[in-house]
Amino acid sequence: MKLQRKNRLRATALGALAVSGALVLTACGSDNNSEGSTGGNGGKTSAASNVKCDGAKGQLLASGSSAQKNAMDLWAKNYMAGCSGVEINYKSSSSGEGIIAFNQGTVGFAGSDSALKPEEVADSKKVCKTGQGINLPMVGGPIAIGYHLEGVDNLTLDAPTLAKIFDTKIKKWNDPAIAKLNKGAKLPDKEIQPFHRSEDSGTTQNLGKYLGAAAPSDWKYEAEKKWPAPGGQAASNSSGVAAQVKQVDGSIGYFELSYATSQSIPTVDIATGAAAPVKASSESASKAIAAAKIKGTGKDLALDLDYTTKADGAYPIVLVTYEVVCDKGNKAETLPTVKSFLNYTAGDEGQKLLGDAGYAPIPAEINAKVRETIGSLS
């Protein structure tokens, strides 16, 4: 990636971190109404950012995945600038917490790095009343493997080596397995300090899916939101893991690329069996996500990702964050705001912002179905 591009991404991501998201949403069937703000914009289109407000008004509450926090911050800032009197408040916590909040009726939509499980869909029917929760893919991107190792500016690892590092089976940075992948590098005789998420996380689950698929002999754990392996140290949210890696020499961790970009944390190139190791970038993640297939049924658009791709330039450790919404049963007074905001995030302008912030836009064919589904929410 060119230096100019890197600097632009870094500046954009830093700006995203500075934005405070303020959003209130009423869950499908929730009684948390929009009391704090007044006004609305009817069907007017904002000149500021081409946002179609379409009757949006008041507050919208959402919570969940910290993986998409930087994207949500940018979206909320631009959307609120275009729709006067609307307040968007996305609480960045974790995918697990977001789905719990959604199914308790305390938010209007949730962000999750993993599609709803069957039991979670069943629970959603109590909140959505006449419908159920569905998955709308909205944000794509690489899960970067960030590291802090003084004197080492470039590092390549593969799935088996990563699995053994995060399972604390490889304990030193000059281990022969790492040295074999980094010929000529001056690797120190230093303890590896792996960091992982402390709370249930879709990012953790997607990393587990990659390790389980690409290194099945070395990663024996089920891909769950809770960190499964012994050892290592825990930190809260992607921002917390990134902060620890930034601070601790000898450390390694996983988080979305925007966190690495904003804090100038070097990231691992992944040896996949392609012609050359693949760097984490919006472009390399897009190549991997473009091969995804829709596995959901009806209006559900959950995706099946290929974590074992060997295509040149395709980065295999990817995730897609979903906005979890009710297909039917939304409250009439908040439905226009939910649809207007999600139409913006799925629109051309909203998706373009993703690449600028270190994420990957959803492939056009899938995104077209997302827009169609948003239009049918009731």
Q: What is the DSSP string of 78-104?
A: HHHHHSTTEEEEEEE--HHHHHHHHHT
Q: Could you say which DSSP state residue 135 is in? A: E
- Strands annotated E in 47-184: 58-64, 86-92, 109-112, 133-148, 156-158
The pLDDT tens digits of the residues spanning 51-69 come to 899 999 999 999 999 889 9
Is the pLDDT score of 121 beyond 80? Answer: yes
Asked which of 27-41, 109-123, 169-183, 317-331 is least confident by mean pLDDT, the reply is 27-41
Please tell me the least confidently modeled range out of 172-176, 244-248, 266-270, 333-337: 333-337
Q: Provide the pairing of β-strand 133-148 with 251-256.
A: antiparallel
User: How far apart (Å, rounded) are the C-alpha atoms in residues 338 and 343?
Assistant: 8
% of the chain beyond a pLDDT of 90: 79
pLDDT at 46 over 50: no
Read off the pLDDT of residues 333-354 as tens digits, 9 standing for 90 and up. 778 999 999 999 999 999 999 9
Answer whether residue 242 shows pLDDT above 50: yes
CA gap 243, 264 in Å, rounded: 11
pLDDT at residue 43 greater than cutoff 80? no
Q: Is the pTM of this model over 0.85?
A: no
% of the chain exceeding 70 in pLDDT: 87
Q: Greater confidence, 108 or 72? A: 72
Q: 152-170, pLDDT tens digit by residue?
A: 999 999 999 999 999 999 9
pLDDT band at 72 (very low <50, low <70, confident <90, very high): very high
In DSSP terms, 63 is beta-bridged to: 91, 110
CA 323 to CA 212: how far, in whole Å? 25
Decide if 360 contacts 317 (C-beta within 8 A). Answer: no
Q: What is the pLDDT of residue 49?
A: 58
Cβ-contact 190, 152 below 8 angstroms: no
Nearest to 210 by CA among 290, 138, 309: 309
Inform me whether the pLDDT recorded for 296 exceeds 60: yes
Residue 221: the pLDDT is: 98
Backbone angles phi, psi at 349, to 5 degrees: -65, -45
Local confidence band at 303 (pLDDT 50, 70, 90 cut-offs): very high
The pLDDT score that the predictor gives to residue 4 is: 42
Quote the distance between the C-alpha of residue 71 and its chain's center. 9
- What would the mean pLDDT of 127-131 be, rounded to a whole number? 93
Look at strands 233-235 and 109-112 and give their pairing. Answer: unpaired
Q: What is the mean pLDDT of the chain?
A: 87
Average pLDDT value for residue range 244-257: 97
